[in-house]
Amino acid sequence: MPKLSMVRRMEAVGFRAWPAASVHYDGSWAVRLTASHPSRRLNSVNPLDPADNREIEHRIARIEQRFKAYERPIVFRMSPLAPAELEAHLNAMGWTRADETRVLAASLGQIDLEGGYELLPVRDIGRFVDAAITLNADERVNKPGLTELLESIRPPFGMFVVEDDQGPAATALCVHDNEMAGLFEIAVRDGLRNKGYGRSIVRAALRWAAAQGAATGWLQVEAANTAANGLYGRMGFEEVYRYVYRMRGD
């Protein structure tokens, strides 16, 4: 069982690094909604206190109205901070599970950051967004939505792009929040995977973060992504906790 204090800390850092356009609290349940971006991380209910288990059915009905206003289905993002009673209620009501995700972390002083590309962050958000969308497998992500998201990030961040004569080859976004450095939008073009591009751009991003004073790198990766989990494990990242999305069954 992960330490809940560390889970709370990383959840807070994650919310700041990937900010929703609208955040409403129902008790300690953070209701995050973003009309311009389809990500479940930006459109989900995030319970943040295992003891907050009151009036579950009524709260779900109330929160669902907010999701309907955004024309989105209600989604719960269930981390170790979610009440066991809520988990039991969703199970009893037949809610499905999807996209189990591992949250990984590593001390930047204990992993090998040498080698790979010598990259500086790009300054042009439009250039990074174009590259990220080109490599993104989710066709629902659009340029205005991703641009709006990046412009709303408050901690310092670095945008990294590797290009070749065919266009964008790899991307990574690194958000530096005090001693924490979160990695997002890590993507490699089809045909270039398993050739060192992912490792190289992650190293470059974390070197930048370490130079800014970060001590810990962290990221989120779907549990089913065997290749990515293998890469991050070899680099020295270790699992801190997991979360999973819950949606109403058909």
Residues 132 and 214 in one domain: yes
Domain count, the chain: 2
User: Could you say which of 77, 102, 127 is where a domain stops?
Assistant: 102
196-224 tens-digit pLDDT: 899 999 999 999 999 999 999 999 999 99
User: Could you say which of 47, 79, 102 is where a domain stops?
Assistant: 102
Residues 126 and 211 in one domain: yes
- Is 137's pLDDT higher than 80? no
Residues 115 and 230 in one domain: yes
Residues 98 and 136 in one domain: no
Non-local (6+) Cβ contacts of 135 within 8 A are 168, 170, 171, 187, 188, 189
User: Could you say which of 79, 102, 125 is where a domain stops?
Assistant: 102
- Is 141's pLDDT higher than 90? no
Q: Is residue 248 part of a domain?
A: no
CATH number of 227's domain? 3.40.630.30
pTM of the model: 0.94
Residues 116 and 236 in one domain: yes
Contact, 100 vs 187, CB < 8 A?
Answer: no
Residues 179 and 217 in one domain: yes
Q: What is the mean pLDDT of residues 143-153?
A: 93
Tokens 């010598």, residue located: 118
Residues 96 and 141 in one domain: no
Domain containing 90 equals 4-102
